[in-house]
Amino acid sequence: MTKPTIGIGLIGSGFMGRCHAHAFNAVSGLFDLPVNLSCEVLADASEEIASAGAEKLGFFRSTSDWRSMIEDPKVDIVAITAPNVLHEPMAMAAIAAGKTVYCEKPLSTTADSALKMTEAAEDADVVTLVGFNFLRNPMVKLARDIITSGEIGAVTGFRGRHAENYMCNPDTPHSFRTDTQGGGALADIGSHIVSMARYLLGPVTATSGVSQTIHTSRPKSLQNLERAPVLVDDMTHALLRFECGIVGSIEANWAATGRTMDLSFEVTGTKGAVAFSQERMNELQLITGTGPLSGFTRIEAGPQHPPYAQFCPAAGHHLGFNDLKVIEVAQLINAHLRVHSCDTDFREAYEVQKTIEAIQRSAAEACWTAV
């Protein structure tokens, strides 16, 4: 009995494109899927890039015309890793074609655009997934399960951060990251901690933020070293009020010297607390109870934390970043098959983006702002 086959079309063969391709190639060997996957078409900016990418990443065909790829009848799922500004037209075309859409974050350059995409997808009843890959970590899921189960009592506080150092150098040139359409530290990596906060605690209703541009000019490009002003934030701190009644704070910072991936949180409850940093992504810190033997327990990822066991039957064999994307793709396939829904569909990605924009407005106007 042969399994049915699902065809994949991928747009982009850069960092995230390779990451997607790796996941599509690896997922069948690791997860028990009821279908086979077939990497059909790779689309990229030119025929040459697309063709080289297809050979390297294991796709049958290549094209420089993403619209034709979307139309390809063998393509069931369209994966978008193109620049942010192209997400909307690509996703709208895929939705129009009735394809499942797997889009990298941020969903679009504005919340308005994201809402338009969301409504189109919902109207067409198309399955969507946005790549908030850090939520796929079994230890983050464990944190949410702990919170939801009441293990730490009623939640009383939240402190979150996403700090990296990749924009520390003032000579790192302008790019899509510093574009006023969807750029800046808050939009780029702050979206990870906002999505994490929502994943753990639910919606944010109001915010007071403050932003700072640390390096006020950057070279126009690697080729043109003339400096142009930076109009986006390098760092934002924000107070958050959650619908569940608590308050907390986050920081987004891409000029955080010394930090490589401090996507971290501490959730405090009346009976315990749970803490995590992506810098040690295979560990979760948990405290519950009191008494002379209590303290924060360092829980190490293991087969008792689904879906870790898909990767290895024994504890101590760490998951890595690329594995998170494999987990995400397994969720995508199951959502495509309507086995379950996706945590981070377009609707959720829109809510994240709306929260980000509220923080940006709050920082611009120096006042509390409703989301």
- The footprint of a second copy on residues 243-282 (CB under 8 A) is 246-249, 251, 253, 255-261, 268-273, 278-282
| Residue 254 or 350 having the CB closest to a second copy | 254
Query: Quick one: 96 or 367, whose CB is closer to a second copy?
Result: 367
Gap between the Cα atoms of 260 and 242, Å rounded: 28
Q: How far is the CB of 116 from a second copy (least distance, A)?
A: 31
For 66, the 3-state DSSP assignment is: helix
Q: Which region, judged by CB under 8 A, interacts with a second copy, from 76-84, 98-106, 284-292, 347-355? A: 284-292
Closest CA to 355 of 165, 114, 111: 111
Task: Please give the helix or strand (H or E) that residue 48 lies within, else none.
Answer: helix 47-57
Distance CA 174, CA 180 (A): 11
Secondary structure element (H or E) that encloses residue 276, with its range: strand 272-277
Residue 73 binds a second copy, judged by CB under 8 A: no
Contact 219, 227 (CB under 8 A): yes
Element (H, E) at 94: helix 87-96
Among residues 71, 212, 337, 361, the one that binds a second copy under rule CB under 8 A: 212
DSSP per residue, 186-226: IIIIIHHHHHHHHHHH--EEEEEEEEE-SS-EEES-SS---
Residue closer to a second copy, measured from CB, 73 or 289: 289
For a second copy, the closer CB: 92 or 275? 275
Report in angstroms how near the CB of residue 261 gets to a second copy at its nearest. 3
Residue list 297-356, contact with a second copy (CB under 8 A): 297-300, 302, 304-305, 311-323
- How far is it, in rounded angstroms, from Cα 247 to Cα 6? 44
Binders in 127-146 for a second copy, by CB under 8 A: 142, 146
How far is residue 110's CA from residue 115's CA, in Å, rounded to a whole number? Answer: 9
Shortest Cβ distance from residue 108 to a second copy (Å)? 23
- ∠ at Cα 108 (104, 110), nearest 5°? 150
- Kindly indicate which of the ranges 74-82, 121-129, 150-158, 353-361 contains the residues binding a second copy, using the contact rule CB under 8 A: 150-158
Q: How many CA atoms lie within 13 A of 274 on its CB side?
A: 23
Binding mask 75-114 for a second copy (x = CB under 8 A): ----------------------------------------
Is the CB of 15 or the CB of 226 nearer to a second copy?
A: 15
Please give the Cα distance from 159 to 275 (Å, whole number): 9
Closest to 235 in 3D by CA, of 211, 218, 217: 211
157 is a contact residue toward a second copy (CB under 8 A): yes
Q: What's the closest the beta carbon of residue 345 comes to a second copy, in angstroms? A: 24
Residue 4 near a second copy by CB under 8 A: no
Residues ≥6 apart with Cβ < 8 Å to 112: none
Stretch that binds a second copy, among 93-101, 111-119, 124-132, 155-163 (CB under 8 A): 155-163
Q: Which of residues 35-54 bind a second copy (CB under 8 A)?
A: 36
Q: How far is the CB of 103 from a second copy (least distance, A)?
A: 20
Q: Which two tokens stand for residue 228?
A: 């142009």
Q: Which of residues 163-192 bind a second copy (CB under 8 A)?
A: 164-166, 168, 170
Residue closer to a second copy, measured from CB, 18 or 116: 18
* Cβ 47 to a second copy shortest distance, Å: 16
Nearest Cα to Cα of residue 136 among 338, 7, 311: 311
Number of residues that bind a second copy (CB under 8 A): 98
Nearest approach in angstroms of CB 334 to a second copy is 17
Angle between helices 15-30 and 47-57 (to 10 degrees): 30
* Residue 126 beta carbon to a second copy: minimum distance, rounded to whole angstroms: 28
